[in-house]
């Protein structure tokens, strides 16, 4: 809850991270809105909004009277979505910064390789 983006977006992202990391496996129950709110010290309505984003995306689904569950195939879909974002959010700024510093394409690839083997 630290950047300029809306809190509910950040909450949705935290839950997504837990699903991608396997901390919330598919077809298991996720904490309730009130538990999220108490844990992150945020308004329950905001936490609910974050959860609803994921319900709308089909990542979570509601079992009436029981709670929220992680949908089957949620992890795979999230990873695919994040890969698309990776291009825009990490690769593009990397190239802009490299150009600013006069790092050429070959040199940049070299640096990535070195980092990968380290």
Partner 1 sequence: MSAVVEASHLTRRFGDTTAVDDVSFSVQKNTIHGLLGRNGAGKTTLMQLLTGQDFATRGDIRIFGEHPVENSGVLKNVCFIKESQRYPDDFKPRHVFTSAPWFFPNWDAEFADRLIADFRLPLNRRIKKLSRGQLSAIGVIVGLASRAPLTFFDEPYLGLDAVARQIFYDRLLEDFGENPRTVILSTHLIDEVSNLLEHVLVIDEGKLLVDQDAETLRGSATTVVGTRQGVDAFVADRDVLHRDGIGGLASVTVGRLTPQDRARATEMGLELSPVSLQQLVVRLTGSNQTETVLEQSA
What residue ranges bind partner 1 (CB under 8 A)? 1, 3-8, 33-34, 37-38, 40-46, 49
d(CA 106, CA 116): 15
Closer CB to partner 1, 36 or 75, in the complex: 36
Minimum distance from residue 75 beta carbon to partner 1 (Å): 28
d(CA 104, CA 111): 11
Minimum distance from residue 34 beta carbon to partner 1 (Å): 3
Closer CB to partner 1, 8 or 60, in the complex: 8
Closest CA to 14 of 26, 4, 24: 24
Minimum distance from residue 73 beta carbon to partner 1 (Å): 30
Closer CB to partner 1, 85 or 117, in the complex: 85
CB-count burial class (<10 Å; 0-12, 13-18, 19+) for 59: buried
Minimum distance from residue 3 beta carbon to partner 1 (Å): 7
d(CA 100, CA 79): 31
Residue with tokens 């009277």: 65
Closer CB to partner 1, 49 or 77, in the complex: 49
């Amino acid at each position: 809850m630290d950047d300029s983006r809306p809190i509910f977006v950040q909450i949705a992202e935290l839950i997504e991270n837990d699903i991608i990391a396997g901390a919330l496996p598919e077809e298991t129950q996720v904490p309730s809105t009130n538990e999220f709110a108490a844990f992150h010290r945020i308004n329950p309505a905001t936490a609910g909004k974050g959860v609803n984003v994921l319900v709308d995306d089909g990542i979570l689904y509601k079992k009436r009277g029981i709670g929220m569950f992680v949908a089957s195939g949620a992890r795979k879909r999230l990873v695919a979505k994040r890969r698309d974002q990776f291009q825009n959010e990490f690769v593009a700024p990397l190239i802009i910064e490299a150009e600013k510093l006069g790092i050429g394409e070959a040199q940049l690839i070299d640096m990535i390789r070195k980092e990968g083997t380290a």
